[in-house]
Amino acid sequence: MLRFLETVLITVVFGLLFTWLRVPLSWMLGPLAGVLLWTGFTRRQLSFPLWLRNVGLVLLGYAMGLAFTADSARQIVTQLPWMLLATVLTVGFSLLMAGLLTRFTGIDAASSAIGSIPGGLSQMVVLAEEVQGADQTVVAFLQTIRLLTVIFVVPFLAVHSLSNGPGADLSTSSPASASSASSIFGEPYTWVLLAGFVLAAALLSVRLKLPTPWFLGPLAAAALLTVSGYPPPHLPSPMILAAQWCLGVYLGLGIKLTSLAGWRRLLPLSVISGLFIVGFSLALSFWFSSMHPMSVATAFLGTSPGGMTEMGVTATTVHADVSLVVAYQMFRILFILFVVPYGLRWAFRARSTRPENR
């Protein structure tokens, strides 16, 4: 209990510090950095229960599922082939960069691949637990550097170079419709039913052995309700921050920088890899905007390897098509979370069974 209280104190202080410094995802990266620095300099052991990590995954999965509106679903249907093409090209280019990282740094291929694929910091680190041979420390390091690179570079380019001025915001009608449909959740018993439905979806995902089940189950449950015309209520901001805090602490405890001997050599190559992936997305956006009636900013934010929330907020700022950006980001996330893990498991299982690797 004392170690847990020490963990809470240290990570909350760093969360507040990163918030004051206006660091993106401050309540995930702040606690993560706090754990790393505190354990690295003091050599003290901190404690954090696994069930709190799962609570954080449930809350974030639910919140992300709310963005899957009927409008974004229609966008996915109409541009499904192009979303699939963009996702496959992005994943393929990320794996190419992962291969170069493996060649020049010597880290194992599984860690490099999972660390380079733009599927989200928390989801990819959790996935690393499920792929044989993957090192969570390397995966978290690569995903953190990629995430920071994308969060700082993509909005800067979108705001200062690709902004197309005032334009239509297709999300303007969403709040009213959501408020009307959410009236069914006004009674206390409906909240109990909603919580039970989300929890049942998470447990079913665990039973089916889906990748990151505590995240995918609630995401699917919230998305199903939203698309059906009965969007559940949004979570209060403190709950989202608490979920980010849970994951940040858990990820920080899973990273052992002392075991990553070549991190000084890995850092600049990770940044370069992230910049190359952003550059690839920018080139892809010019091609997509020439093939479809969408702005370069919309295409860039839709294909960029960033988070759906961050790219959606940036889309609003530059007057891009928010629903289309969300649709592309959601498709990439779902594709990576549902398809890529099975492909990676198969590839590295087959690789480990080769005679020369026995």
Residue ranges of the domains in the chain? 1-47, 48-357
Predicted local confidence at residue 280, as pLDDT: 92
Q: What are 143-169's pLDDT values in tens digits?
A: 877 876 776 677 677 766 676 544 333
Contact 66, 72 (CB under 8 A): no
Predicted local confidence at residue 170, as pLDDT: 33
Predicted local confidence at residue 166, as pLDDT: 40
Residue 197 phi, psi dihedral angles, 5° rounding: -65, -45
Contact 87, 335 (CB under 8 A): yes
Tokens at residue 289, please?
């905007």
pTM: 0.64
Contact 71, 81 (CB under 8 A): no
| 3-class state of residue 173 by DSSP | coil
Return the DSSP state at 356: G
Q: What are 31-70's pLDDT values in tens digits?
A: 888 888 888 788 788 888 888 888 988 988 888 778 777 7
